Amino acid sequence: MNPTWSLRNHTFGLLFTLALFALLLAGCEPASIPEAATSTPAPATTQAAGATAATATPRANTGNAAPAVPAQAAQPSVQTSEPIPAADATAPSQLSIPAIDLEVPVMAMGWQVTEVAGNRTTVWVLPEDALGWHPNSVGAGAAGNLVISGHQLLGAGLLASVALGEVAVGQEILITDAEGKVFVYQVSEISEPIAISEELANEESVAAAWTAQSGDARLTLITGWPDFSSTHRIFVTALFVGVQP
């Protein structure tokens, strides 16, 4: 064999082996990682993840919160109605004026025979610890004039607020009857203090003008004036409005 050819064949074989080994190494080299895989996710992916997180986040203070209760409409303080027939009305048992926090009992008055200015007559016996209902007037909530009197000085002085000017036009007066039904009246007029006349006939005529029965439904309160004496009378008129629900 030619030595030169043998050397060439040997060299060629060695180069072929080296080239094959290089190819094998190239085939086993790991592929490079794209930059996109290690960078921040695309905006669309970020928004989707944010939406999922927001949905999964519980709302604050809902763990012990009571279920919502639908709001209810306010109930009216007065239910408009017609006054009841006088024959169906019962005696008043309580009077209250919410605006001045007054709440007092009412009872039927009696009367007694006495002598006034030399004249024999009958007078009402006014209770000292309650207001007095005139039983010859109408009952609570009835058509006509419901008349109630009270002391402003003697006893508990339950109508001192009238003498002191605390009762005003527009205020509501609530009258509760013997059955617990509440009738609403609204103050429409308050007289100036009227001096008590020495003549019985004059005083009776003044009182009669305020306590006379009428075609409408009204309440008349009578008391003395001022709060430290009883030289005058005051009359309060309140018109019937309706029934308290």
Note whether residue 168 is domain-resident.
yes
pLDDT band at residue 233 under the 50/70/90 scheme? very high
- Interval 164-184: pLDDT, tens: 999 999 999 999 999 999 999
Predicted local distance difference test score (pLDDT) of residue 201:
60
Count structural domains, the chain.
1
Q: Which long-range contacts (CB under 8 A, 24 or more apart) does 14-23 make?
A: none
Question: Does 10 score more than 80 pLDDT?
Answer: no
Q: State the DSSP H helix or E strand holding residue 16, giving kind and residue range, or none if neither.
A: helix 3-28
Q: Which residues pair with 131 in a beta bridge?
A: 106
Section 126-155 average pLDDT: 96
Residue 148's CATH number: 2.40.260.10
Residue 151, domain member (yes or no)? yes
Q: Quote the pLDDT of residue 205.
A: 75
Average pLDDT in the 123-135 region? 93
Answer for the pair 125, 110: CB distance below 8 angstroms, yes or no.
yes
pTM: 0.67
Range of the domain at 168: 81-243
**Is 213 in contact with 135 (CB distance < 8 Å)?**
no
What is the residue-averaged pLDDT of the chain?
Answer: 76
In a domain, 58, yes or no: no
